[in-house]
Structure 1
Amino acid sequence: MTSKVISIVLGGGQGSRLSPLTATRSKPAVPIAGKYRLVDIPISNCLHAGITRIYVLTQFNSASLNKHIKNTYHFSSFSDAFVDILAAEQTPSNATWYQGTADAVRQSLHHLAIHEFEYVLILSGDQLYQMDFEEMIHQHIDSGAEISIATIPVDAADVPGFGILKTDENNMVTAFIEKPKKDFESWASDVSDEMKAEGRVYLASMGIYIFNRKLLYDLLEGNDRTDFGKEIIPQSISEHKVASYQYEGYWTDIGTIPSFFEANLGLTDNIPKFNLFGENHIFTRARMLPPSKISGTLLEHSIIADGCIINAKQITHSLIGIRTRIGVDTIIENCYVMGCDSYQTLDQIAELKLSNSPIMGIGDRCEIRNAIIDKNTYIGNDVKINMGETLPDGDFETHTVQDGIVVVKKRAIIPNGTVI
């Protein structure tokens, strides 16, 4: 049945809430878990479900995303499988950027028209989860729905951050309200006993939709509605058969720096909520990197990606990305170090050390806590980051601070002895 499905991954807008990680890359291209990109999550979920025709829609800073897609997702010449980028483009009929989620899909319909399909699966590019889309598609077909919405039970504290759906005994959506702030007690829906025990009785839209092909074209063509969550879905409930697909696994929207930081460090737990080690693994670019080399380092609740050279004193509750170099006597605590795109040669390292300049990576005798270190940074010796009182929020030349988390910007150079 998944052979009748085409998937569209929405790359999101400018990604300002994830700044500065999105200063030079689109949101789906942001590195996660030390070796993957955000876009790998929805694509991997699709591939595990047998959905092999996937478009990724993007318009901001798409160069690194294009490169990642090109270098990662290769299929047989005898297959109709593909993962293609659709960047926003000016055409004789439309001279504007994407104005919202629905408008992005509307402007891409002519690319879909060349394919045979019956259903369109629409996904977000900035969420962390593992879902069986095949099961969702079967429920969509069996229920006779024209639209299906993936929903997740949330508690009262989370309700104001979501679009909330009300369902009947057949899991059909009867009403929708966008981010209610109060008086939403009557919006509770029927959920499992486990969810009831946790107080999670409100069904929140996950921004994951299945549309029947004909209905999608009818809803988008010839009008100016720009957003699925705010316009298309609420206006469709009274006129079309809209089903809820209730999901109770791990899911998080990682569109902000705190949520991104928490989601990544959560992977270092003894039994993480998001399972990197199961059979539904994440597909990503296959790099021919050497194994990591670690000398004299105390490691605790940490993940070390491929190709690292680590001489640190201690790394605790941290995630160390590919090709990271960390010097002697350095302490890393509660950090996500994204790593590097290439290695420096021994001659380059010797030349930088001779001029007392930082080499790529993290130097000797550093102490770094509660930080995200973006790719290809140069952190010198004896640098201290976030080791004192909680820092006020702000944006600076080499770093930003959000909610007590220091984000060192991509390619930033932090001189020897710097204290942040």
Structure 2
Amino acid sequence: MNNVIGIVNFHSDPEISPLTDSRPLGSTSFLGRYACCDFALSSFCNSGISTVGILVKDKLRSVLKHLGSMDAWVTNTKIGQEIIMYNEPAHLHPETNTDINNIRENDWVLYDSDASYIVIAPTHIIASIDYRPILAEHIARKDKVTVVACRVADPRKEFLHEALLTVNPSGYVEDVEDNDGSVSSPCLASLGIYIVNRTVLADMIHRYAAKNPTLSLSSLIYAVGREEGSTRPHVYVYDGYVRCIDSFRHYMEYSFELFDEQKGRSLFKDDFPIFTLTHDTQPAIYGKDAKVTNSFIANGAIVEGTVINSIVARNVKIAKTAVVKDSIVFSSTMIGDGATVSNALIDKYSIITRSHKVVGTASSPVYVPQGAIL
């Protein structure tokens, strides 16, 4: 798809403290080997979108560390490219460090490109989306803006602070409201994914963004759509597996639900793989007394103890009499002899010392910060 540019939008990530204190959600580990942004990047790659801009809001080091050379997501090495888009002048001014101002600072995407369409996707939406049929519908309908949404059974419990859409009989957005948890009936929730004709987006930003430097991209799209009927977004309803990481609790819950084979297969498809940064790491090593049940264990881990219903990332060491249950352990962490970790997330480079207990509950998991020694 040489006439399409993809944009991965880190600006729309929710802040999930303390997990995102030192990293954006997009570069946060997921399932022990991926990062959350891998799903947006892989969807572009698998859809044949070979030119991708990556809108980074802050914590640039974490993003660059995960992306590396970015070769994992470029399928066309002759014309494919991924470009970091960072608004350095706005870095110290959070109120104007918006996705729109980032695009204005990196306006090659609007004015130096021959692409006809721009697809913008966030990093906190976990899904594997083929954009080819969505683009085909957008083009066939001659729409200027398409928003991708999904059906939500109970918006009090999911897609919090995302846009809830009211759609008219023709499929266009009639009204938008922020999901504050007060709506109980089934509805459509935006995935924060937009397909916009490049020249239309350039015109929107040129006419409106300078007047309101704190405006976000989603606010701009819906505001212009209300004022100008010709740019009213049409809604494409995606009915595949999709989850919105809007809280620490949901991060944990959606990680563990992928132990379910049916849900796992609906996200990880043989013909639509999820790519990530590759590491030259040996396979996981299991001691003769190791006991592992229903868990994801990444390469490079050394497991000599017991692991149950847990996610263990690269280069984690779990000692012989240690027990890890219903927990997530980030990379390069050590769990000592006799230690117990239950219903917890242990951030990377941490050490849980001999016989120490880190115990939470399913409804209130414990978080151990990066580099902690307990």
State the TM-score, normalized to the length of structure 2. 0.88
Equivalent pair of 1:176/1:234 in contact (CA under 8 Å): no
CA distance in structure 2 between the partners assigned to 1:119 and 1:284 by the alignment: 25
Residues 68-217 of structure 1 aligned to structure 2 (within 5 Å): 68-73=66-71, 75=74, 79-90=78-89, 96=93, 98-158=96-156, 161-179=161-179, 200=186, 202-217=187-202
CA distance in 1, matches of 2:151, 2:315: 39
Q: Distance in 1 between matches of 2:368 and 2:92?
A: 37
Distance 1:247 1:125, change over 3 A: same
In 2, are the aligned partners of 1:153 and 1:203 still within 8 Å (CA)?
yes
Determine the C-alpha separation between the residues in 1 that align with 2:76 and 2:193: 30
- How far apart are residue 212 of structure 1 and its match? 0.6
Shift of 1:310: 0.5
Deviation at 1:72, TM superposition (A): 3.6
Q: What does residue 60 of structure 1 align with?
A: 58
Find out whether 1:372 has 2:372 as its counterpart: no
Alignment check: 8 A CA contact 2:13 2:123 kept: no
Question: Is the CA contact (8 Å cut-off) linking 1:27 and 1:38 kept in structure 2?
Answer: yes
> Residues 303, 166 of structure 1: CA spacing in aligned structure 2 closer, same or farther, 3 A cutoff?
same
Structure 2 vs 1, CA of residues 183 and 291 (structure 1 numbering), >3 Å: closer, same or farther? closer
Q: Distance in 2 between matches of 1:42 and 1:18?
A: 19
Cα deviation code 1:116-154 (max 9, x no counterpart):
111111111222111111111111111111000001011
CA distance in 2, matches of 1:101, 1:362: 40
RMSD: 2.7
Does 2:218 match 1:229? Answer: yes
Q: Which runs of 5+ in 2 are unaligned?
A: none
1:96 deviation in Å?
4.9
* Residues 1:405 and 2:351 aligned together: no
Which structure: larger Rg? 1
1:338 and 2:330 correspond = yes
Residue-by-residue CA offset, 1:394-417 (whole Å, 9 max, x unaligned): xxxxxxxx9511111111112xxx
Distance 1:386 1:95 in 2: 39
Distance change in 2, residues 1:162/1:285 (3 Å): closer
CA distance in 1, matches of 2:115, 2:181: 40
Q: Check the 8 A contact 2:150/2:188 in 1, yes or no.
A: yes
| Identity across the alignment (%) | 22
Q: Distance in 1 between matches of 2:16 and 2:297?
A: 24
> Once the two structures are superposed, what CA deviation does each residue of 1:86-134 show, in whole Å capped at 9, x if it has no partner?
122228xx99554433333333324542221111111112221111111
Deviations 1:34-84 (A, max 9, x none): 011111110000000000111111132111211322334265896121112
1:299 maps to 292
CA distance in 1: counterparts of 2:204 and 2:218, whole angstroms: 13
Superposed CA deviations along residues 290-349 of structure 1, whole A, max 9, x for unmatched, are: 11111222222111111111001x211111111111001211111111122xxxxxxxxx
- Preserved contact between residue 241 and residue 267 of structure 2 (Cα < 8 Å): no
What is the aligned length?
A: 362
Q: Aligned letter for 2:205?
A: L
Deviation at 1:177, TM superposition (A): 3.2
Q: CA separation in 2, counterparts of 1:28 and 1:160?
A: 17
Counterpart Cα distance in 1 of 2:221 and 2:76: 37
Question: Aligned equivalents of 1:166 and 1:177: distance in 2?
Answer: 9
Conserved 8 A contact 2:327-2:344: yes
Q: Distance in 2 between matches of 1:276 and 1:371?
A: 25
Contact 1:166 1:175 in 2 (8 A): yes
Residues in 2 aligned to 1:184 and 1:374: alpha-carbon distance in whole angstroms: 35
Cα offset, 1:264, TM superposition: 1.3
Taking a change above 3 Å as real, the CA distance of residues 138 and 266 of structure 1, as seen in their structure-2 partners, is same
Specify the alignment match of 1:347 in structure 2: none
Tell me the equivalent position of 2:246. Answer: 255
Unaligned runs of 5+ in 1: 186-199, 341-359, 391-401, 415-420
Please say if residues 149 and 205 of structure 1, whose CA atoms lie closer than 8 Å, have aligned partners that are also in contact.
yes
Aligned to 1:4: 3
Residue 378 of structure 1, CA deviation? 1.5
